[in-house]
Amino acid sequence: MLDGRRILVTGVLDRHSIAFATAARAQELGAEVLLTGFGRTKRMTERAAGQLPAAAEVLELDVNSAADVERVRAAIETRWGALDGLLHAVAYAPPDALGGGFLDTPAESAAIAYQTSAFSLKALVAGLLPLLDAAGAGAPGAGCAGAGAAVVGLDFDASVAWPSYDWMGVAKAALEAISRYLARELGSRGIRVNLVSAGPVETLAASAVPGFSQLAQVWSRTAPLAWDVEDPTPVADAACFLLSPLARAITGEIVHVDGGYHAIGCPSPAATDAVSQIAVPVPSVPSTPPTASPAPAERALSSPAYRMKEHPPLQGAGR
């Protein structure tokens, strides 16, 4: 399905990342994959890269740095000369933008959530545009003749308000709008832009969102299809479909991969108890991820020292 496609995958932090599952599936389906890693956590990304079906190179990328985006563009230009696919799997919100203090969040924190989690889709696509253009339908050297480049982002349904998700939810609403505008801008160049709206998946970022485990419980009890919060592969499979030529006439779309939760108006009686527990206000500094026995690197990431401005993704990054 992805034979010969050259795909850049952002957002791999460790083996639990949705982006890791997507990179692995893309390789199994025939793609060549490059990863990006962010700040001090790049070492974790490199370790994860070695656990993929085929080891992948990791490029340094802070999505908020124009210089980093340009370096990534230059590296891909040298290596492939074109880019057939891009997975945007990046999100971050400061602790005071999550967790039930919606009315108290300062503009600066909301702006950081917006820039990193939403505007970065535009920043990345615009920075890599010459490469996405070069993969255009029928372009010489294109991995799949007749199929232009595809961009896929990861969303959490922003059509409703969630407990605790707060300004990350607002950022996701912006991400949804940005993906539609990009689809509009880039369709005539043969570039498609779509989102996968995922149900809750246990990742390091998600575990830093207060109330995540209760939300996950409600989800599993309410979704018409079985939903396993430990399994990112259904989301990865849908992302790979959207990255593939099979989705060649789809753009500006949001595909829900959530066990059907979005289609259900009212939780089942079994889920209502768990629902009532989510809405409790929680402290704005998230707790240590609930992993029973985290690996040393993960312990380091959840330590106060890690939660410094310089390396923020885990303190508030969310679904």
Ligand X SMILES: NC(=O)c1ccc[n+]([C@@H]2O[C@H](COP(=O)([O-])OP(=O)(O)OC[C@H]3O[C@@H](n4cnc5c(N)ncnc54)[C@H](O)[C@@H]3O)[C@@H](O)[C@H]2O)c1
* Cβ atoms 198, 255 nearer than 8 A: no
Residue among 17, 105, 251, 302 that touches ligand X (CB under 6 A): 17
Residue 60 touches ligand X, criterion: CB under 6 A? no
Residue 64 touches ligand X, criterion: CB under 6 A? yes
Q: What's at 204, amino acid-wise? A: L
Q: Which stretch binds ligand X (CB under 6 A): 75-83, 84-92, 260-268, 277-285?
A: 84-92
Helices 107-114 and 166-186, axial angle in degrees (round to 10): 40
Active site residue 172: yes
Cβ distance to ligand X smaller for residue 90 or 134: 90
Residue 118 touches ligand X, criterion: CB under 6 A? no
Chain residues 198-217 in contact with ligand X, contact rule CB under 6 A: 198, 200-201, 203-206
Residue among 6, 25, 31, 38 that touches ligand X (CB under 6 A): 38
Catalytic pick among 165, 181, 306, 309: 165
* Cβ atoms 286, 95 nearer than 8 A: yes
Q: Distances in Å between the alpha carbon of 215 and those of 42, 123, 130, 154, 207?
A: 29, 31, 41, 18, 11
Q: Which stretch binds ligand X (CB under 6 A): 7-15, 123-131, 142-150, 293-301?
A: 7-15
CB count in 10 Å sphere of residue 192: 25
Q: Which stretch binds ligand X (CB under 6 A): 10-18, 93-101, 247-255, 286-294?
A: 10-18
Whole-number Å distance between alpha carbons of 175 and 171: 6
Chain residues 129-188 in contact with ligand X, contact rule CB under 6 A: 154-156
> What's the closest the beta carbon of residue 296 comes to ligand X, in angstroms?
17
- DSSP state, 261? G
234 torsion bin: left (phi>0), alpha (psi -120 to 50), beta (else) = alpha
And the tokens for 74? Answer: 């230059």
* Cβ atoms 168, 209 nearer than 8 A: yes
Q: Which stretch binds ligand X (CB under 6 A): 90-98, 99-107, 249-257, 300-308?
A: 90-98
> What's the closest the beta carbon of residue 22 comes to ligand X, in angstroms?
9
The residue ranges of DSSP E strands in the chain, in sequence order, are 6-9, 32-37, 58-60, 85-88, 150-155, 192-198, 254-257
Residue 123 touches ligand X, criterion: CB under 6 A? no
Residue 313 touches ligand X, criterion: CB under 6 A? yes
* Cβ atoms 94, 315 nearer than 8 A: yes
Catalytic pick among 92, 172, 261, 306: 172
- Positions marked catalytic: 165, 172
Interface with ligand X (CB under 6 A): 11-13, 17-19, 38, 41, 61-64, 89-92, 116, 154-156, 198, 200-201, 203-206, 313, 317-319
